[in-house]
Structure 1
Amino acid sequence: MVCVEEYAVRVLVTGGAGYIGSHVVRSLQGSGHTVAVLDDFSTGSRRRVGADVPVEDGSLLDTAFVEASLRRLSADAVVHIAAKKAVEESVADPLFYYRENVAGMQSVLEAMVSAGTRRLLFSSSAAVYGASATSPVTETSPTDPSSPYGWTKLMCEQMIRDVSLAHGLSWSALRYFNVAGAADPTLADRGESNLIPKVFRAISSGVRPQIYGDTYPTPDGSCLRDYIHVNDVADAHATVLEHMENADLCTVYNIGTGTGTSVFDVMTAVRLVTGVDFECDICPPRPGDPADVVADPAKIRAELGWASQYDLGSAVESAWKAWSDAPS
């Protein structure tokens, strides 16, 4: 149980109107923290932001704006989630990803140093491990991203380390694995690049979902991933932030379940949850997609006592309910 008087801090969540960000905002509020959202609404939705949450509407690339937002909130911490995240898009337009993700990180760090905000939780990704990773991956596994998106996340982690050494930041980079599910319909994932909403979009339109590659060196030939419920991801943020109230951090954590699920297995789970029987089209593998990336989440469990609580079925079921009931 979180003691509000002891742990409450003022937190600015960048990308807090997005799918993951909005869940994190709710979790932090539930832990008693004062939360504001910074978002440019290029992909986020105002419907995801509660009426009681202050909103700073603008670009991360505007450092003066970010700094002013931190000062208005008197922010103790930043949870930096805002980023572009589609692997395939990053391969096609890497300069866009380096500008939005890497220059955006530089802007946040500059604003934090100027405003005197000293705590940072960074939304990193399992994409930092790349195609050469041997699952289950630990935080000390080699990092060799196979896409510009993955490189932007790894570059941001290094930037944080360097700025921390120079300016005394307390930080943690949370390497999310494949996030799925929803807390309620207003927070549904309707993204264009995530597998589960893409399958929902396809079957709702009467077309076949696509599977990118069935000849990978995995048990059924499709990619293996670690699907983690978004509620677990949000809870991990609250857990790490609470720890940062008692001690400085300078570390990374895997945020996953430790269980590998193939794309074919996801299709089976979707059929069970939706009651829709469908066939899939097999397409060529996408550039930048590694075969097998599954977390070893032992570090955060041992150090902070956090562990995932939901399984794949729960994630797919909650995602389908939110998708079906979400306002159009």
Structure 2
Amino acid sequence: MNVLVTGGAGYIGGHMVLALLDAGHKPVVFDNLSTGFRSSVPDGVPLVVGDIGDHELVFRTLHAHRIDAIVHFAAKLVVPESVSDPLGYYLNNTVKSRALMAAAVAAGVEAFVFSSTAAVYGNASDKPIGEDVPLAPLSPYGSSKQLTEVMLRDVAAAHSLRYVALRYFNVAGADPAMRHGQSTANATHLIKVAVQTALGMRSHMEVYGTDYPTPDGTCIRDYIHVSDLISAHMRALTHLSEGGESLVMNCGYGHGYSVSEVVETVRRVSGRAVEARLAPRRAGDPVAIVADSSRIRSRLGWEPRYDDLSTIVEHTLRWESMLRERNLTL
């Protein structure tokens, strides 16, 4: 299968490229390299540097490489930034996704896997959240993804395109073989930030909000290992290639950890101190988000392999240590 991976030079998209290669497929990376890295694209994998909003370039790429399916990761994804820059997020995440869909329809591509988010739910419940609860995003980031889901639904009803929208919970970790991981210098992912603090790459980290209605006052999230997330994408591609119907599904483990629990796990696994300073709540942060993943388990047969916070932290620690050593020798 020839698969276009938008954002394929980035963190999650880069893992998808490796999984496609491992499975014998032919990925093509489409990335503007604003946060991704050319060096992350494996040798022999075509890289098209461009913007997904460029309809003509996307259309030519789909034709030139005879693309069978699109896996769409390219997006801006920092919740507080979306609150301060809503127009930028609606342009990048929604308007440009519309252009990508238009090119897909024009080129006759019928399979589309979309990187959505649990941020579409808002403060839905303190229990695992199913896909059918009313959506109430708290940030423009969440709203931008919800609108893209709506567009996909309507495009699929009018054309031959079928899709799977995967609502990610909190993605972390690195490829167990250390081929790829999160390399963005100023990433805001909690586990990455905590690990970098443990390694001395940051003087301290901040815990945003300690007065939430949770057992220890900090937010609760469902952390999923990036390799398990990618296995969900591979199953989604197989489902669509076999003629499966369009689906919307959660990607999470069904249990959560608080910010304080994550910091303590990083301290324990690394054996190092992590200075965590208390800070005010951030705009757009829900209290707790935990997935009900029964749909993806039953419909696609998805079973995670790395459902363990210590393992996720260990893989992140190994990856960040590699990056640190690499930077020190440059």
TM-score (norm 1): 0.95
Q: 2:192 aligns with which of 191, 194, 197?
A: 197
- 1:116 aligns to what? 108
Give the Å deviation of 1:308.
1.6
Q: Is 1:264 aligned to residue 260 of structure 2?
A: yes
Give the Å deviation of 1:190.
3.4
Give the Å deviation of 1:28.
1.7
- 1:322 aligns to what? 319
Contact 1:47 1:186 (C-alpha < 8 Å) held by counterparts: no
Q: Distance in 2 between matches of 1:197 and 1:149?
A: 21
- Aligned sequence identity (%): 43
Contact 1:48 1:186 (C-alpha < 8 Å) held by counterparts: no
Deviations 1:137-189 (A, max 9, x none): 01112210000000001000000001111112110000011000001545221
Counterpart residue type for residue 143 of structure 2: W
Counterpart residue type for residue 316 of structure 1: V
- 1:187 aligns to what? 180
Counterpart residue type for residue 287 of structure 1: A
Q: Secondary structure at the match of 2:104?
A: helix
Q: Distance in 2 between matches of 1:57 and 1:135?
A: 42
- 2:209 aligns to what? 213
Contact 1:172 1:250 (C-alpha < 8 Å) held by counterparts: yes
Q: 1:14 aligns with which of 6, 29, 40?
A: 6
Q: Is 1:222 aligned to residue 214 of structure 2?
A: no
Q: Secondary structure at the match of 2:224?
A: strand
Q: Is 1:308 aligned to residue 304 of structure 2?
A: yes
Contact 1:133 1:141 (C-alpha < 8 Å) held by counterparts: no
- 2:244 aligns to what? 248
Q: Is 1:44 aligned to residue 40 of structure 2?
A: no
- 1:6 aligns to what? none
TM-score (norm 2): 0.94
Give the Å deviation of 1:206.
5.3
Rate the CA distance shift 1:116–1:206 in 2: closer, same or farther, 3 A. closer
Q: Distance in 2 between matches of 1:233 and 1:241?
A: 13
Unaligned 5+ runs, structure 2 = none
Rate the CA distance shift 1:84–1:206 in 2: closer, same or farther, 3 A. closer
Q: Is 1:167 aligned to residue 159 of structure 2?
A: yes
Deviations 1:274-300 (A, max 9, x none): 111233111111000000000010001
Q: Distance in 2 between matches of 1:109 and 1:154?
A: 15
Q: Secondary structure at the match of 2:197?
A: helix
- CA RMSD, Structure 1 to Structure 2 (Å): 1.3
Contact 1:233 1:255 (C-alpha < 8 Å) held by counterparts: yes
Give the Å deviation of 1:258.
0.8
Contact 2:111 2:241 (C-alpha < 8 Å) held by counterparts: no
Contact 2:128 2:289 (C-alpha < 8 Å) held by counterparts: yes
Contact 2:129 2:290 (C-alpha < 8 Å) held by counterparts: yes
- 1:145 aligns to what? 137
